[in-house]
Structure 1
């Protein structure tokens, strides 16, 4: 088991879980009941948070049949329609008629005042037997609501400040009329559900059984908000937090600073010439950034096949396969793969965009972005690079990309208690104007106010944390590399693609906090895994060691040495 000092850091908002043994990890991956059945929470895209489950149950109790139906929840009509259309495409025409979107909006009593926080809610309601289909959308798109938004909406629903909107043109579902494409639901007067001084939409009618709990008994919305958040969340604070986060990601903010200074101080240059925080878009998760980048390219360029280059995070490949006309998959991400791609391009094949990771996981190989950029420029496809593993302080991939995506859930946040993602446009790239114009029409701010505040606070010391993690990781990987018990260490520093990685390194950049290690036998691998006294879970990039964290080097060396000693015992 993990040391108590680590396990007590976890909270009910934790975005990972600990799987302390080899057997429990396999049980988790294979969906065995003895593991899955005991989990109270998990990574939010794979395990729907209990507070969101409770909200979905309450919604179905009000608008559906709790015995046979369930719901998946989204913050906007557009994201709900993506889920609805996916379910409808997988079921019979008769069953498709039963899939529907139910809209909940702030009541007329909610959202009054310049600092009021509100949220609409869109529930895709369907038969329980199709839950596994809806779960694909939740997992792959990353667009689902966060647990903090879920808790807010549940309380607002119970107190009568969030009410069902009866049928209107805006809330018709795909099963009742054809959808001609995404439509922006969120008005210009809101920031991810935060009212800017005007009253929220008034529902046409409501039969909410609990409407009298708050709104009709004289309890005002200001009191509701104070009870939920205290006095520390407002339109201004959430908007400022998002600006500060976007400035850090753009690279125009180059020091560990508090929020007031982050709003005042910027450097002259960011990651590329001409970039600003206006080129950074925030999403509720890293997967949402990838999903919506693909959606943006489809909207901008039409239905072209994509390229998945290198062995990707599984959901990236699923997105490219399940939405749009499919993809060409190069699992090795090698120079030979680029030769094949170039041959196809010379023969007239055309593609939407190439999606890749720099470096990839678990082998930590770096793609040849210079050659990829050259092919993209010559043959007219976009380049989307996921930089999550290394992060932009260590390498700068933006000059070679049209869009750079990242999971902010990982080391950018570090505290393992909030999800987030970003997409960054390169203002020097060929498709910049087309993508910017498309995002001006299509982008929806899905990022919940409270999550933004947590992410901004967590990321204030991002720079100093990265420096320590880089240094510690180099020491630990060198220790493992020197051990005859270890078969291979996969780390950008030791990869055959290190020259490609080094060509992307920032002046003070390191090799990141993630590495993989293999042993000469399965028994040795099991002994190492089971003995290593760190948290082990389906995530990475925390301040404590899932990938390398902020512990003292001597402490981690001791833990790794004890694990190596266990390997030695089984090898004898």
Structure 2
């Protein structure tokens, strides 16, 4: 049964990463801001759509510390990430309005539970600003990926309700030795010490804030179900979860060990000596890993223009344009583009770094990483490679880059219920020492503990999942390519750039689970998409097959720009999941049959 407009994907998942837009009309309606779509939205991709819990926490903070009706707020995990938002706002609003932008720190008062729960005793940073500048602040939320996660907001909502979230003093954390020491949100407590009172907040949480109410019992029920049936580690094991993730990633990049061994074998003796988990850094989202890779490169090497090579995920280009000296953009990522870049370099132009994806999205083209690496070695710029679509198991791009970034939200997790990102520094890279020093100074671990626990659990079987998905996708694309109703199938295996992909393909690697399809007319594309019996919405790499008219979702306001780089506006992107291959092929065939009927 197909999901209705606005339903969460996966269904009945409190922290779902995707949302249902099941028809072409619904997708256009969402982009046009039509109420019949927006009023049904129960969620959305977290960097584009604020979770109801985050909205409610923001409203509660404004009720206590802002001007109701005039102000709004955006929440971040640390003073530094909030500072990025504040600086961005101040650079783009009238100077006389600057006094209306401020940052408030909130802290929890501690825990009476086990020592392992102390990592949850945390703080959040709130940027308060006039509502008319919300579109500016939202750019920071979307592009940097550093906003708080929905699980973190649940924690602080509970803390607020239990009277455990208060404004930090200018001197730092408040005194936790007071007689009325607060124990933190109830569901995070292990036990109550005898004769210790529980203090409630003097200001009750508003129930009429104009946002969906999230009942405490519902949240705790969801938490119990996720942990009981999801094999999650206890929250006190968050640090071990992060370590396991980092070792799982570094083990994957060596291509010598099944990553599942990283949970049992906690030593690094079996790995390539130069690469360890100490070269892996975790972030709350994939975009956060890209944003901070760029920030750390500027910190280490100086403020210079960067290069965006190949048609990018939109936010990567925006980060390079908005948080630095600018960007040289090569949207085709072709050999001719490399010729032009080499000409510029030979004439003395200097660049900080080249950012690229491998393969690209949505045409699944692969850039010539060997040539890019050679140019970088000759002319002294860094290379940052986003391998999210290729993924660790199918490709090993580390030898050709200084930093490899990835969205762990996608195939690494698969369950579409948690966000995460990683950045791996190449120990053989030209700027390894400089980058390690920069990360040692600049890095903040802002991956929320509970999110790390879900990432760890979800990724335990990612090797076997990837291999299944590879095989199904190859079968699907082979069948679609021979259909006369299909104009073009974009997939690394059939791309003219396949030789560049194969250079980086691991011995047992495949071509991934993402492909795009184009029909001869938009009418036929709509007939196929509306008839395709799979989940439909944003994101990719999910354990269930997920489809969307990608260009409409990602570039609706700049379709002519996308078309200028050879991206068809009516392209349909399909991310293959773990369904039975025969059943999935049958669903696709029924959608193809609908195209034929539309043609008649």
* 1:25 Cα deviation from its structure 2 partner: 1.4
Aligned: 1:554 with 2:582:
yes
The superposition leaves residues 262-321 of structure 1 with CA deviations (integer Å, 9 ceiling, x where unpaired) of: x53657235xx5101110000000000000101111111111001000000000000001
* 1:7 Cα deviation from its structure 2 partner: 6.3
Q: Distance in 1 between matches of 2:89 and 2:167?
A: 23
CA contact (8 A) 2:109 2:176 kept: no
The superposition leaves residues 482-536 of structure 1 with CA deviations (integer Å, 9 ceiling, x where unpaired) of: 1111000000001000010011100000000000000111111010000000011
- Kindly tell me: are residues 485 and 412 of structure 1, through their superposed partners in 2, closer, same or farther at Cα, counting changes over 3 Å? same
Q: Which residue of 2 aligns with 1:151?
A: 154
CA contact (8 A) 1:105 1:203 kept: no
Q: Which residue of 2 aligns with 1:101?
A: 103
Q: Which residue of 2 aligns with 1:186?
A: none
555, 560, 563: which is aligned to 2:591?
563
* 1:9 Cα deviation from its structure 2 partner: 4.2
> Which residues of 2 match residues 329-368 of structure 1 at below 5 A?
329-368=329-368
Q: Which residue of 1 aligns with 2:53?
A: 51
Q: Distance in 2 between matches of 1:237 and 1:282?
A: 16
The superposition leaves residues 310-349 of structure 1 with CA deviations (integer Å, 9 ceiling, x where unpaired) of: 0000000000010011100000000111111111111111
Q: Distance in 2 between matches of 1:115 and 1:47?
A: 30
- Kindly tell me: are residues 461 and 233 of structure 1, through their superposed partners in 2, closer, same or farther at Cα, counting changes over 3 Å? closer
Q: Which residue of 1 aligns with 2:311?
A: 311
Q: Distance in 2 between matches of 1:7 and 1:502?
A: 33
Q: Which residue of 2 aligns with 1:134?
A: 137
- Kindly tell me: are residues 352 and 341 of structure 1, through their superposed partners in 2, closer, same or farther at Cα, counting changes over 3 Å? same
18, 21, 44: which is aligned to 2:20?
18
* 1:102 Cα deviation from its structure 2 partner: 0.4
CA contact (8 A) 1:104 1:121 kept: yes
Q: Distance in 2 between matches of 1:144 and 1:21?
A: 30
The superposition leaves residues 440-464 of structure 1 with CA deviations (integer Å, 9 ceiling, x where unpaired) of: 0110000000000000000000000
Q: Which residue of 1 aligns with 2:197?
A: 218
CA contact (8 A) 2:112 2:183 kept: no
CA contact (8 A) 2:469 2:578 kept: yes
Q: Which residue of 2 aligns with 1:189?
A: none
Aligned residues: 533
Q: Which residue of 1 aligns with 2:432?
A: 432
Q: Distance in 1 between matches of 2:17 and 2:445?
A: 21
* 1:211 Cα deviation from its structure 2 partner: 11
- Kindly tell me: are residues 91 and 204 of structure 1, through their superposed partners in 2, closer, same or farther at Cα, counting changes over 3 Å? farther
- Kindly tell me: are residues 528 and 7 of structure 1, through their superposed partners in 2, closer, same or farther at Cα, counting changes over 3 Å? same
- Kindly tell me: are residues 114 and 483 of structure 1, through their superposed partners in 2, closer, same or farther at Cα, counting changes over 3 Å? closer
59, 65, 76: which is aligned to 2:78?
76
Aligned: 1:247 with 2:226:
no
Secondary structure at the counterpart of residue 410 of structure 1:
coil
- Kindly tell me: are residues 505 and 212 of structure 1, through their superposed partners in 2, closer, same or farther at Cα, counting changes over 3 Å? closer
* 1:204 Cα deviation from its structure 2 partner: 11
| Root-mean-square deviation (Å) | 2.9
- Which blocks of at least 5 consecutive residues in structure 1 are unaligned? 171-200
* 1:113 Cα deviation from its structure 2 partner: 3.5
Q: Distance in 2 between matches of 1:320 and 1:134?
A: 17
* 1:249 Cα deviation from its structure 2 partner: 0.9
The superposition leaves residues 417-474 of structure 1 with CA deviations (integer Å, 9 ceiling, x where unpaired) of: 0000000000000100000011001100000000000000000000000000000000
Secondary structure at the counterpart of residue 249 of structure 1:
helix
Q: Distance in 1 between matches of 2:246 and 2:581?
A: 32
Secondary structure at the counterpart of residue 97 of structure 1:
helix
64, 67, 81: which is aligned to 2:66?
64
* 1:109 Cα deviation from its structure 2 partner: 6.1
Q: Distance in 1 between matches of 2:486 and 2:115?
A: 62
* 1:112 Cα deviation from its structure 2 partner: 7.9
Aligned: 1:288 with 2:267:
no
Q: Distance in 2 between matches of 1:128 and 1:205?
A: 39
Secondary structure at the counterpart of residue 384 of structure 2:
strand
Secondary structure at the counterpart of residue 405 of structure 1:
strand
Q: Distance in 2 between matches of 1:283 and 1:533?
A: 34
Q: Which residue of 2 aligns with 1:125?
A: 128
CA contact (8 A) 2:121 2:184 kept: no
Aligned: 1:537 with 2:537:
yes
- Kindly tell me: are residues 325 and 484 of structure 1, through their superposed partners in 2, closer, same or farther at Cα, counting changes over 3 Å? same
Q: Distance in 1 between matches of 2:112 and 2:137?
A: 31
* 1:6 Cα deviation from its structure 2 partner: 11
Aligned: 1:403 with 2:403:
yes
The superposition leaves residues 30-56 of structure 1 with CA deviations (integer Å, 9 ceiling, x where unpaired) of: 333322232121000000100010111
* 1:151 Cα deviation from its structure 2 partner: 0.6
Q: Which residue of 2 aligns with 1:476?
A: 476
- Kindly tell me: are residues 520 and 57 of structure 1, through their superposed partners in 2, closer, same or farther at Cα, counting changes over 3 Å? same
More divergent stretch after superposition (16-25 vs 308-317): 16-25
Q: Distance in 2 between matches of 1:227 and 1:9?
A: 18
- Which blocks of at least 5 consecutive residues in structure 2 are unaligned? 187-191, 201-215, 547-574
179, 183, 202: which is aligned to 2:174?
202
Q: Distance in 2 between matches of 1:202 and 1:485?
A: 67
Secondary structure at the counterpart of residue 456 of structure 1:
helix
The superposition leaves residues 218-273 of structure 1 with CA deviations (integer Å, 9 ceiling, x where unpaired) of: 1399xx9x979779866751011001111111126833638851x53657235xx5
